[in-house]
Amino acid sequence: MVEATALHPNLATEIHADIRVPLTPEVKAGIVSIMDHSPVGVFRNARPLGDDEQVAFGRQFEQVERTYSLLSAQMTPSDGSAPAEFADMRAVYDALPEEMKSRLESLVAEHDEPRPRLPVRHPLVHEHPGSKRKTIYLPSQVSRIVGYRKEDTTALLEYLTAFSAQPQFVYSHVWRVGDVVMWDNLAATPAFRGKS
């Protein structure tokens, strides 16, 4: 069993596991289970992971039906001024007006990939494979909504981005040296609220 401490209701959890060593099947399953319900996982380490250690940790999840991303802190600003923020796209979907949910259900987003190849298409709304909750898949690479004019795509993406940046949907992680943050892109997305 993997122990965990909630950092934000239903969105972020500190996961207590040694990620410098190969994970047992039980520990890996425990981490996946935690992240199915709390899609931002924070692993605290006494010292930063090396590049090879971080790659080895991430590769242990390649066969999981999730899309995890990782960031780690090699150093931090002395004033803590650069937090990483994540929005809970399941809670965002739940809070949307019913007419907006209906509108989004049939939409397909086209994503520009960083490598030169054809754009990838995904439904904008899907059911998360672990939690079975509906969620909005809104990575920063969305270039257009299929069937929408450019200005309509822009207006919808700006609405969803602003809606998801509300404080009740966002976890703000203040880094400590050695932290590793792993998030499930199918349920959480980096949030950009800016400074107030």
If 0-12 CB within 10 Å is exposed, 13-18 middle and 19+ buried, where does residue 41 land?
A: buried
Residue 73 CA from chain centroid, whole number: 17
Walk along the chain (196 residues) and give the pLDDT tens digit of each residue.
899 999 999 899 999 999 999 999 999 999 999 999 999 999 998 889 999 999 999 999 988 877 899 999 988 887 766 789 999 999 999 999 999 999 999 999 998 766 667 778 899 999 999 999 999 998 777 889 999 999 999 999 999 999 999 999 999 999 999 999 999 999 999 876 544 3
DSSP string, 140-163: TTEEEETT--HHHHHHHHHHHHHH
